[in-house]
Amino acid sequence: MRIYMMWPNSGYVLVKALILGIVSSNLNSVCAQTISKPSSCGDSTGCFHNGCTSDDCEFLLKWQDGGGDDLDLTLTCIGTGDKYCAIGLSSDSKMASASVIECVSTSSTPAVYVSYNTGYSNSRLSQNQLGLTLTSSSHTNGIFTCTFKRKKTATLASASVADSTKYFDMNSDWTLLYAYGSSSGGSIQQHSSNPCASLETADFQSSDDVGCSATDRPLVKLHGILMSLVWMLFAHVGVFMASINKQTWPDSTLWFGLKPWFVPIMAAFRPKPDHPRRIIFRIAHTLVGYLAIILATVNLYTGASLSAANAPASTRIVLIVFNVWIVVVPIAAFLYLAFSRKPKQNKSNEVELEPYDSGQETKEPLDNVRVLITAVYVVGLLALSIAFWVLFAGGK
Ligand code: HEM
Query: The CATH number of the domain where 166 resides is what?
Result: 2.60.40.1210
Residues 329 and 376 in one domain: yes
Percent of the chain with pLDDT strictly greater than 90 = 53
pLDDT for the residue 344? 55
Best-predicted range by mean pLDDT (152-161, 207-216, 233-242, 299-308): 152-161
| CA dist 368 → 207, 284, 365, 371, 374 (Å) | 67, 33, 10, 5, 10
Measure the N-to-C terminal CA separation of the chain; round to a whole number of Å.
61
88 CA closest ligand 1 atom index: 30
> Residue of the nearest CA to atom 3 in ligand 1?
190
Q: Which of 37-46, 247-256, 347-356 has the lowest mean pLDDT?
A: 347-356
Question: What confidence category does residue 395 fall into, taking pLDDT thresholds of 50, 70 and 90?
Answer: low
> Residue of the nearest CA to atom 10 in ligand 1?
120
pLDDT for the residue 7? 43
Nearest to 289 by CA among 252, 238, 335: 238
Mean pLDDT of the chain: 83
Q: What is the mean pLDDT of residues 213-226?
A: 81
For the full predicted model, state whether its pTM sits above 0.75.
no
Q: Which of 75-79, 119-123, 369-373 has the lowest mean pLDDT?
A: 369-373
Helix, strand, coil content of the chain in percent (nearest 5):
35, 25, 40
CB of 76 closer than 8 Å to CB of 35: yes
> Residue of the nearest CA to atom 11 in ligand 1?
120
Q: Which of 216-225, 254-263, 366-375 has the lowest mean pLDDT?
A: 254-263
> Residue of the nearest CA to atom 9 in ligand 1?
120
Residues 386 and 299 in one domain: yes
Residue 149 reports pLDDT greater than 90: yes
> Residue of the nearest CA to atom 34 in ligand 1?
95
354, part of any domain? yes
Question: What confidence category does residue 194 fall into, taking pLDDT thresholds of 50, 70 and 90?
Answer: confident
Residues 203 and 222 in one domain: no
| CA dist 346 → 37, 79, 116 (Å) | 74, 66, 81
Q: State which amino acid sits at residue 128.
A: N
Q: Which of 154, 173, 207 is the last residue of a domain?
A: 207
b/e sequence 109-141, b meaning 16+ C-beta within 10 Å: ebbbbbbbbeeeebebbebbebbbeeeebebee
Tell me which H or E stretch contains 345: strand 344-345
pLDDT for the residue 311? 83
CB of 181 closer than 8 Å to CB of 139: no
Question: What confidence category does residue 78 fall into, taking pLDDT thresholds of 50, 70 and 90?
Answer: very high
Question: What confidence category does residue 36 fall into, taking pLDDT thresholds of 50, 70 and 90?
Answer: very high
Q: What is the mean pLDDT of residues 163-174?
A: 96
How far is 386 from 392, CA to CA, in rounded Å? 10
Task: Output the DSSP codes for 35-65.
Answer: BPPPTTBTTTBEEEESS--SS-BSEEEEEEE
Q: What is the dihedral of CA 154, 159, 160, 161, to 10 degrees?
A: 0
Q: What is the mean pLDDT of residues 74-91?
A: 96
Residues 287 and 203 in one domain: no
307 ligand 1 Cβ < 6 A: no
Residue 56 reports pLDDT greater than 50: yes
Q: What is the mean pLDDT of residues 370-384?
A: 93
237, part of any domain? yes
Residues 85 and 18 in one domain: no
Residues 202 and 223 in one domain: no
Regarding beta strands 59-65 and 121-124, do their DSSP bridges make them parallel or antiparallel, or are they unpaired? unpaired
Substitution candidate for ligand 1 out of 84, 95, 306 with most atoms within 8 A of CB: 95
List pLDDT tens digits, range 310-355: 788 899 999 999 999 999 999 998 888 888 866 655 544 444 444 4
The domain of 201 spans: 46-207
Q: State which amino acid sits at residue 359.
A: G
List pLDDT tens digits, range 200-213: 999 999 999 999 98
SS3 state at 394? helix
Q: Where are the beta strands (DSSP E) in 141-218?
A: 143-151, 175-184, 187-188, 196-198, 209-210, 212-214
Question: What confidence category does residue 41 fall into, taking pLDDT thresholds of 50, 70 and 90?
Answer: very high
98 ligand 1 Cβ < 6 A: yes
Q: Which of 144, 176, 207 is the last residue of a domain?
A: 207
